[in-house]
Structure 1
């Protein structure tokens, strides 16, 4: 075989190897990112079903079908089971098994139209008799994948609902039903927990010092997901007429767990731990150092001057990892005090090395019992979280009690009490300013961020790269935003069954909270003109609602008649 032919065979073999590697890489990428598309229709008439909830079983990942019943969802490695659920239809579970197209026909549920749902002020109605949409989510669905905020657990489970979080664990979460309708409000529904109205606004932003904006979490973040029996979402203003104008964006009714009649004493303990591992980061250039102009050595026709790597010069400096040298921010000096140039290297994992794995551990203990005189349930939950940002945390201790007793054959007295203590030693600032993540991302690619970890210098100085640049480790450890919030909410209800047709219900509902926010900022933050600051604030709030509800129902055989009347006295006070 001549030399020419040997070379051709060798070249063909190399090309085949490259092609094989390319194909293998492509197949691996496809297996890691598997997309399933399809449509959902009714098996009865073949019409498309918009707003069907499609959830990857065992996770909180889910989507909703569009107006034409079409959907698209990512399934890791093409393995798993998709759960299709829609109000009035039987829930269906289908294994993916590597399929990329799945068209589903849902069968109408025989019992769905006869279900009884709890509407405003605890009024029970048949689902089919309502003139508005109601969706229910069972409590076990909220804890299938542990979440510290109950709203995060609703993601992908309710059609037409949009959830947004302002930050990490412990931050505020907003909920919008059927899109925003106002430019002047946050468009959130009214939350009613066991009859207690709770406003879940996004205005709990505090902190002292320049641009030190801290999110301390909104009201629903205090709710323990382990204590929830079910959640009902009433959509549209007509669904919430009894709650007034503040329920114009809909109502979310949350019912907590209670002991059932004739249930033997039961003690249960649950524990779970969730690890939040950062895996995707903002894209940044890591090819060039900071500076005003690029650089090539004199041997390659470039400048005989050393490259400029001034931190204030943007990211147009010399190329990294090419063996170039420059005087950098931490350059050593020779015997005469002259800075010594060092090699310019890239550090692409600065932010990845700065953040840490978040850990959330939840332990819950509950006792339920039913006796001849009383049904009761007691629950205690402890949640502890260490955040993604170093030195950040959030904690919550919850106590719940529900009890009911039949005073006689016509009177039933019941109560629900929840006491919650949420607190943190440090909540990192969000947005721009004192946010540690902002300055971690602002670190030039040619600087090893880990060298800034030991930031304390003699006196009150802080190790930094240049004037105006803030050390992210200092912002994480030297700026502490702590808080402590106690919330008590619950009710006492008296039901009087005057006759089989006429009933009276009287209830007293309480929602009160006490919050203390404290900021300790050491000297070293460039935006703080006072070179450090301290501040503390306290806020108290209480709302009471006294309701008297009269209900008359009558079954005439072919149709039912029901009428209700309510009188409510509401008082609200906030003191800061």
Structure 2
């Protein structure tokens, strides 16, 4: 509630508004404070104050200002209580303030009461309601911090009720407390709340302490979850969703390319079973030292870099890259080249979640714009090479005095045995666009104390070479149970099955463009006759397409289930 307070009109026309600023701050919050009739609390304060006023048809504000000027008593009223348009008349001489006010309000619905060393103008109906409330006692005091500085805006509340006030700019407060034992609650944002029993004291001064709450950022290091303040080195984290969205093929680490400073990843040649080379802190100087960073998956240290072979991208919760040698304080000398920590997903308590994820990718082999010769271009190049050979070989010149005849006789077997108008693109026959497909399904949930996570992921990739394929199946089950508030036990089961088909062909640069892998009927030849400079060097070469189709290497890894039992003990 807001009270407008009247003051002496000494300085300016509206200066009375400033004089009672203290009361304006204090009174709005005392919404249910018990009020006491003037008859029982005025004491000698009102009896000693007399006024002489002779006015006619003036506002109530003017009369109250005259009383204030003669007695120094503060007057106030609630906003909206007084009718500003109404005029009052008063003709009294040498009477007390109480008598003057009763005369003034004799034929009106206004009344007055004495409260907190001031007189408040109220409606008679409002006063009758307030006089029925239990009487109480006023408590006052100052709220300060530990250094003694007053705290403005602190809340002083009667516990279990809505009766309360806020401290003023000097930290002071006044509160009317009903009879009986009560508890005062002092609170302020950033300070510890205090509760003080009230047993009739007239003054309670309070000192409040700072309430410092620090939220620690944490980093998953593999063996434990550590605060950033405990990490002396550089760490960079990636969310599992970010990793999955950045993947362009089946390699999980490819998602970190261009996103992690200092991490070099090389070796992606279109082979689905790629094993990338990782450099995080440069090349080690010790002989036969490990060059790639340490890989930690759910707390288990691994000795390989093919993460995609043991973890599905959809099951990754977070990847943390520990970049400098300071991580050796956690992992020892094995972390000298940096650490990559992978944390997999787990179920959320009291929340059932299902997810289906499907992805499709395309890989195109980059040959850098290199174009191979046609049959005609290669024949011209062969003629030029033979001519240069003849020009620099005296014994050959003695045997073949005519250079043109030498070229004609040498190349005759080539034109007789091969169709020089044909140009076979051997690179196009052995390479294709790589296609990647993946499907992941998972379900997770739990209760108040237990959680579970179950997932199945299927991955299929056709490499950029013909007959180069890789399929993987991942199965994961994780269960956690809170035995107590500080002890959690769990089991993590991971199973993988993979099949890899690798072509057996060599380099296609050995096959000239006038050769064909197919016979007259369009079927693959078992072997191909190849011409090399002289007719006497005709040999049979393996047909790479036939070799890839029937002599490819197939490697299968049967289903392997890796059980991991873990526990987490939180210090109390």
Give the Cα separation in 2 of the matches to 1:283 and 1:403: 56
Q: 1:473 to 1:291 in 2, by over 3 A?
A: farther
Q: Kindly indicate whether residue 254 of structure 2 is the aligned counterpart of residue 152 of structure 1.
A: yes
Q: Kindly indicate whether residue 343 of structure 2 is the aligned counterpart of residue 255 of structure 1.
A: yes
TM-score, length basis structure 1 = 0.51
Q: 1:451 to 1:130 in 2, by over 3 A?
A: farther
Give the Cα separation in 2 of the matches to 1:365 and 1:247: 34
Q: Secondary structure of the residue that 2:318 maps to in structure 1?
A: strand
Q: Kindly indicate whether residue 463 of structure 2 is the aligned counterpart of residue 391 of structure 1.
A: no
Q: Deviations over 1:389-447 (max 9, x none)?
A: 222211100011122111223321122221111212x213xxxxx544x1x23222333
Q: Would the aligned equivalents of 1:290 and 1:445 in 2 still touch at CA under 8 Å?
A: no
Q: Which residue of 1 is the match for residue 224 of structure 2?
A: 122
Q: Kindly indicate whether residue 233 of structure 2 is the aligned counterpart of residue 137 of structure 1.
A: no
Give the Cα separation in 1 of the matches to 2:529 and 2:477: 52
Q: Which residue of 1 is the match for residue 293 of structure 2?
A: 189
TM-score, length basis structure 2 = 0.52
Give the Cα separation in 1 of the matches to 2:216 and 2:569: 26
Q: Which residue of 2 is the match for residue 42 of structure 1?
A: none
Give the Cα separation in 1 of the matches to 2:256 and 2:245: 11
Q: 1:222 to 1:341 in 2, by over 3 A?
A: closer
2:555 to 483, 492, 500: 483
1:351 to 420, 427, 443: 427
Q: Which residue of 2 is the match for residue 273 of structure 1?
A: 360
Q: Secondary structure of the residue that 1:178 maps to in structure 2?
A: coil
Q: Kindly indicate whether residue 448 of structure 2 is the aligned counterpart of residue 372 of structure 1.
A: yes
Q: Would the aligned equivalents of 2:418 and 2:515 in 1 still touch at CA under 8 Å?
A: no
Q: 1:187 to 1:393 in 2, by over 3 A?
A: same
1:170 to 256, 270, 273: 273
How far apart are 1:153 and its partner, in Å? 1.6
Q: 1:307 to 1:166 in 2, by over 3 A?
A: farther
Give the Cα separation in 2 of the matches to 1:427 and 1:410: 51
Q: Which residue of 1 is the match for residue 383 of structure 2?
A: 293
Q: Would the aligned equivalents of 1:290 and 1:444 in 2 still touch at CA under 8 Å?
A: no
Q: Secondary structure of the residue that 2:250 maps to in structure 1?
A: coil
Q: Which residue of 1 is the match for residue 333 of structure 2?
A: 245
Q: Secondary structure of the residue that 1:148 maps to in structure 2?
A: coil
Query: Would you tell me which structure has more helix in proportion to its own residues?
Result: 2
Give the Cα separation in 2 of the matches to 1:124 and 1:381: 30
Q: Which residue of 1 is the match for residue 142 of structure 2?
A: none
How far apart are 1:309 and its partner, in Å? 7.5
How far apart are 1:464 and its partner, in Å? 4.4
Q: Would the aligned equivalents of 2:517 and 2:528 in 1 still touch at CA under 8 Å?
A: no
Q: Which residue of 2 is the match for residue 472 of structure 1?
A: 544
Q: Deviations over 1:320-348 (max 9, x none)?
A: xxxxxx544xx7xxxxxxx467444544x
How far apart are 1:145 and its partner, in Å? 3.7
Q: Which residue of 2 is the match for residue 198 of structure 1?
A: 302
Q: Which residue of 1 is the match for residue 515 of structure 2?
A: 447
How far apart are 1:132 and its partner, in Å? 0.6
Give the Cα separation in 2 of the matches to 1:419 and 1:468: 47
Q: Deviations over 1:516-559 (max 9, x none)?
A: xxxxxxxxxxxxxxxxxxxxxxxxxxxxxxxxxxxxxxxxxxxx
How far apart are 1:228 and its partner, in Å? 0.5
How far apart are 1:306 and its partner, in Å? 6.8
Q: 1:366 to 1:235 in 2, by over 3 A?
A: same
Q: Deviations over 1:373-393 (max 9, x none)?
A: 411111100111222222221
How far apart are 1:176 and its partner, in Å? 1.2
How far apart are 1:239 and its partner, in Å? 0.5
Give the Cα separation in 2 of the matches to 1:141 and 1:220: 16
Q: 1:309 to 1:221 in 2, by over 3 A?
A: farther
How far apart are 1:175 and its partner, in Å? 1.4
Q: 1:249 to 1:451 in 2, by over 3 A?
A: farther
Q: Which residue of 2 is the match for residue 494 of structure 1?
A: 567
Q: Would the aligned equivalents of 2:528 and 2:541 in 1 still touch at CA under 8 Å?
A: no
Give the Cα separation in 1 of the matches to 2:485 and 2:302: 33
Q: 1:155 to 1:396 in 2, by over 3 A?
A: same
Q: Which has the larger radius of gyration?
A: 2
Q: Would the aligned equivalents of 1:137 and 1:157 in 2 still touch at CA under 8 Å?
A: no
Q: 1:191 to 1:341 in 2, by over 3 A?
A: closer
Q: Would the aligned equivalents of 2:295 and 2:339 in 1 still touch at CA under 8 Å?
A: yes
Q: Would the aligned equivalents of 1:150 and 1:221 in 2 still touch at CA under 8 Å?
A: no
Give the Cα separation in 2 of the matches to 1:447 and 1:308: 21
Supply the RMSD in Å over aligned alpha carbons.
3.2
Give the Cα separation in 2 of the matches to 1:123 and 1:397: 30
How far apart are 1:238 and its partner, in Å? 2.6
Q: Would the aligned equivalents of 1:149 and 1:223 in 2 still touch at CA under 8 Å?
A: no
Q: 1:341 to 1:181 in 2, by over 3 A?
A: closer
How far apart are 1:149 and its partner, in Å? 1.6
Q: 1:341 to 1:444 in 2, by over 3 A?
A: closer
Q: Would the aligned equivalents of 1:195 and 1:491 in 2 still touch at CA under 8 Å?
A: no
Residues 400-549 of structure 1 mapped to structure 2, 5 A cutoff: 400-424=476-500, 426-428=501-503, 435-436=505-506, 438=507, 440-448=508-516, 454-457=523-526, 462-465=527-530, 466-467=538-539, 469-485=541-557, 486-497=559-570, 499-500=571-572
Residues 3-18 of structure 1 mapped to structure 2, 5 A cutoff: none
Give the Cα separation in 1 of the matches to 2:457 and 2:493: 14
Q: Secondary structure of the residue that 2:242 maps to in structure 1?
A: helix
How far apart are 1:221 and its partner, in Å? 3.1
Which segments of 5 or more consecutive residues in structure 2 lack a partner in the other structure?
A: 1-214, 388-401, 531-537
How far apart are 1:449 and its partner, in Å? 5.4
Q: Secondary structure of the residue that 2:365 maps to in structure 1?
A: coil
How far apart are 1:274 and its partner, in Å? 1.3
Give the Cα separation in 2 of the matches to 1:469 and 1:400: 48
